[in-house]
Chains A and B, each alone.
Chain A
Amino acid sequence: MSLSLDKQFFFKKYGLNASDLEHYLSAALSAGGEYADLYFEYVTTTSLSLDESMIKSAAQGISAGCGVRVVTGERTGYAYTDDLAPERILHAARTAALIASGPAKTPIVDLKENRAHDLYPVAASDAELTAKVELLNRADKSARAYDSRVTEVRASYADELRRILVIGSDGSFAEDVQPLSRFNVAVIARKEDGASSRGSAGGGGRHRFDVFLTEKTPEHFAEEAARQAIIQLDARACPAGEMEVVLGPGWPGILLHEAIGHGLEADFNRKKTSAFSELLGKRVASDKCTVVDNGTMPGRRGSLNVDDEGNPTNNTVLIEKGILKGYLSDKLSSKLMGLPNTGNGRRESYEHIPMPRMTNTYMLAGDDSPEDIIRSVKHGLYAVNFGGGQVDITNGKFVFAASEAYLIEDGKVTAPVKNATLIGNGPDVLTRVSMVGNDLQLDEGVGTCGKDGQSVPVGVGIPTLKVDRLTVGGTGSAD
């Protein structure tokens, strides 16, 4: 191999050398696979949690392993080991190789390092544990000080540092060190009559610890969680039925993630199992809508220098002025579909097969002021915070649940409502977007997306936007 790999983390830590890699890849292609790759991963994690004003839990962990993938046509063989001894990796390679049947192939051993971005600082653990504990104590104090009706406060801090090394039999090679941290506060509030409510807020990303001391402070999250819970104490039943819906900026962008993002992942479209299959070049949104998936934003939770196949991430236009422009692809689907590889091949860990996944998915800002958007609604719902969502990509139906929402009556935001779930149809919900705000925001770094049992961190965002008609699921009367 022409590249000097001696300085790399995995080679030092596990005493591997370049000829070992060649040996493993050869074993992976010993039954004739077209392509093979090795994914080395070493992750350290720290998590701390506070409950009842006590630091009740502190945990740390180390996990490491190697996954071997062999691809032939549409077939994928996969095996992994959490023991990085050479004989264990070889065993995994030979197991994965069985997907193919034919004469052995030889990997390209002239490794070329893939171009990569430089989107985040190298170390997440750039602070003492005591400083992390202090964040939790500050959050507890702040949430309790916000309102005497706040009765329970839980706060948690978690960070990880993930080192990956991906080597492909096509000579591709990439290494990355990915920090990720997250802070979260959850509160419960109670009124004298016994009625309770909950609120939560959190955020983080691939950034330095001191962001939690300057921008994303514990007080910021604690006050936000407490504010939501206090408002919910007086929320009334949500109306049920179709109505105008205004989504606030930021995290409500989960609409895009559920309604269209999953449906545009290339694997579903290659198999024609998505409601968006065959819609490339067609109108799927109003001309006010331009939606991108951008893995190249510095410090964001959904960002990556390279994806988990070693390819640099991109800023991919999915919908441009309402027209479907592209899919999110990985190596396998881009090859089989003859599409560009957008660098969206991601996996939860070395135990998992990569597949097309979102990074940071958001809609570009429009021209309308948020005030004008609200003012234009006679009778509707203003939804500003959400819990989780889900989509059936085949029939396109998606759901997401609002944790903070208000009635809009005669152009004014009025009473808070509880328990509002929104349901719609992915391929046509965006065609009913009639106003797009000038206030694009991304979420604060809380998203985790699940697909086929694999979880990966993602980001979402929208400006304030108005959907002319969406079904709101509540228990109250619609009138």
Chain B
Amino acid sequence: MATTTATQLDLREIASNVVALAMKQGATAAECVMRDGTEFSTVVRLGEVETLKESGARALGVRVFFGKRAASTLTSDLSQQGIEQMVRSACDLAKLTSEDPYAGIPDAAQLGQISTDLDLYYNDVYSLSNADRIDYARRAEKAAISADPRIKNSEGGSFDAAIGRKVLANSHGFIGEYQRSYVSVSAVPIAQDENGNMQRDYWYSVSRTMTKLDPPEEVGRIAAERTLRRLGARKVKTQRVPLIFDRQTARALLDHIADSVNGDAIYRHASFLSDKLGHQVAGKNITVIDDGTMVGGYGSSPFDSEGVPTRRTTVIEKGELKNYLLNSYTARKLNLQTTGNASRALAGTPGISNGNFYLEPGTRTPDQMIADVKQGLYVTEFLGFGVNLVTGDFSRGASGLWIENGELTYPVEEITVAGNLKDMLNNISEIGSDLEWRSSVACPTIRIDGMTIAGE
């Protein structure tokens, strides 16, 4: 048998050995990252179990530097032979790459990790028996289906749990690891109107611990509400009206802003926010924060993928662009300091990802914001990917609910909403008070004026 299991071996020890092995082969710096994870998922459809999946996997990657040349390799073969082959290949590959004066791992002084407990791991996500897990999924679906006779079909209810561990070691002697847990329950009901037209929507609850997961009945009920309100949707005329983006779609907009302040896009001039540090890029009411240190946050970790402690970074303050999100490479390129936002796959050059990225909330409720609109659209879903970060041009498919005299009326679909992110940042005329964390990016309900709806 060519493989040996590494189950008994300490992952930290393996990672340190990989770094040592690379240095022994002449590397001037090296970095090893390991991932070890398990997952469980089940889908129940129309009351019957449809899928049950349970498994785990682990793999590791190494990045080596020979002076200013870098290369990386990964393997899922954790045998000594597999590891040696991986390190050797990385060292060989490094002969192929160019000397990049900015290449390298962070300075030793930049490394470290947050010592406080970020509250990211609960083993209770695996506390349920398979029967109980299936029951969670079944209850979510049942609550959705029994909510209304027009809900006649379903893509199912589901229950998912996962645990992931990450280990990072580098040749400055950094070694760190953390574990994160995740659990979710969801429902995807399908409703049908009297003409036979179908609509589908979903809802879910996600948490790092079972104790904070919403009851499946609640998830199913909201999923049903969201689906039913889409029945009878129609197109509207092409026009310009105020748009109110609910938390889901507002979050998608803020995602584009996170991508636009990503250091990789900045130094390549691939973002409309390149060269804009210190400029007023948004209205005075806009403050955007990235915080990788929030307790329990979906974007939290004690250190980033280069071993730099995560931190709180003000990205936009009262409309002024204060900071980009950077790793050590883009920081050197831009003559700035890393913000501890390095991310990486097992192989390849580190990228950048946000921590917990959010727009600071305002004071008004979504209902009050809607009540102010004479004619407009409450946008509840985007479809498609029509965003150009180089120019800021934005045009995506959308659906939602029409607002007439301050009230939500009929559902709308098969339209697009378009504008430019530069203008949109300046035209956020209202910000809701309803910030809620369901992923690593969160945005309250917002109102944007001046965008174009394309329809009939």
Contact = CB atoms under 8 A, between A and B. Distances in A.
A54 to B, nearest CB: 4
Given A76-B51, A85-B3, A473 B388 contact: no
Given A13-B2, A390-B384, A57 B348 contact: yes
Contact of B384 (A76, A271, A399, A472): A399
A57 B416 contact: no
Contact of A401 (B70, B78, B94, B395): B395
A-B residue pairs, 10 tightest by C-beta? A473-B416, A399-B384, A399-B397, A401-B386, A240-B454, A394-B200, A54-B98, A419-B393, A421-B386, A473-B454
A151 B55 CA distance: 47
A275 to B, nearest CB: 7
A56 B416 contact: no
13 contacts: A61-B347, A75-B49, A75-B50, A75-B52, A82-B59, A195-B391, A275-B198, A398-B383, A418-B393, A419-B386, A423-B454, A473-B386, A475-B451
Contact of A395 (B77, B199, B268, B456): B199
A190 interface: yes
B5 interface: yes
A63 B3 contact: no
Interface stretch (B137-145, B214-222, B287-295, B417-425): B417-425
B3 A472 contact: no
Interface in B136-168: 153, 155
B96 A58 contact: yes
Given A275-B198, A389-B384, A56 B97 contact: yes
B130 interface: yes
Interface string A99-135: 1000000000000000000000000000001100100
Interface residues of A, dominant DSSP: strand
B269 A152 contact: yes
B93 interface: yes
B417 A473 contact: yes
Interface string A126-156: 0001100100000000000000000110100
B99 to A, nearest CB: 8
A62 B103 CA distance: 25
A62 to B, nearest CB: 5
Contact of B97 (A55, A190, A478): A55
A387 B93 CA distance: 32
A324 B420 CA distance: 40
B413 interface: yes
A389 B416 CA distance: 13
Contact of A351 (B55, B78, B96, B384): B55
A163 to B, nearest CB: 14
A241 interface: yes
A95 B51 CA distance: 12
Interface residues of A, number: 85
A273 B151 CA distance: 12
Interface string A381-404: 000000111111011011111000
B414 interface: yes
A133 B397 CA distance: 39
Given A59-B74, A188-B390, A198-B270, A271 B155 contact: yes
Contacts of B393: 418-419
A475 B420 contact: yes
A140 to B, nearest CB: 11
B456 A242 contact: yes
Given A80-B55, A388-B385, A473-B386, A423 B155 contact: no
A272 interface: yes
B100 interface: yes
Contact of B395 (A59, A98, A398, A475): A475
Interface string A48-74: 110100111111111111000000001
Interface of B: 1-5, 45, 48-59, 61, 70-78, 82, 85-86, 89-90, 93-94, 96-100, 103, 130, 153, 155, 190, 197-200, 230, 233, 235, 238, 268-270, 346-349, 383-386, 388, 390-391, 393-397, 399, 413-420, 451-456
Nearest to B420: A475
Contacts of A154: 268
A420 interface: yes
A83 B90 CA distance: 22
Interface in A440-479: 471-475, 478
A413 interface: no
A15 B1 contact: yes
Interface of A: 13-15, 47-49, 51, 54-65, 74-86, 88, 92, 95, 98-99, 129-130, 133, 151-152, 154, 188, 190, 195-198, 238, 240-242, 271-273, 275, 351, 353, 387-392, 394-395, 397-401, 418-421, 423-425, 471-475, 478
Contact of B57 (A48, A49, A65, A242): A65
Nearest to B197: A395
Contacts, number: 272
Contacts of B346: 61
B456 A421 contact: no
Contacts of B51: 75-78, 353
B73 A59 contact: yes
Contacts of B233: 395
B200 A392 contact: yes
A67 to B, nearest CB: 8
Given A78-B51, A188-B268, 18 more contacts: A15-B2, A56-B100, A60-B347, A61-B73, A74-B45, A76-B52, A197-B390, A198-B390, A241-B454, A241-B456, A353-B53, A388-B384, A395-B200, A401-B386, A419-B395, A421-B397, A423-B383, A473-B386
B49 A99 contact: yes
B75 to A, nearest CB: 5
A63 B399 contact: no
A133 B155 CA distance: 46
A273 B416 contact: no
A271 B75 contact: no
Contact of A474 (B54, B57, B77, B418): B418
Nearest to B85: A62
A471 B415 contact: yes
Given A62-B75, A84-B3, A421 B55 contact: no
Contacts of B75: 61-63
Contact of B73 (A60, A196, A242, A420): A60
A64 B96 CA distance: 26
Contacts of B73: 59-61
A203 to B, nearest CB: 20
A95 B395 contact: no
A397 B200 CA distance: 11
A47 to B, nearest CB: 7
Residue of B383, B417, B453 with most partner-chain A CB within 10 A: B383
B198 A273 contact: yes
B387 to A, nearest CB: 8
Contact of A473 (B56, B130, B198, B418): B418
A472 B384 CA distance: 13
Given A76-B50, A79-B55, A240-B418, A196 B390 contact: yes
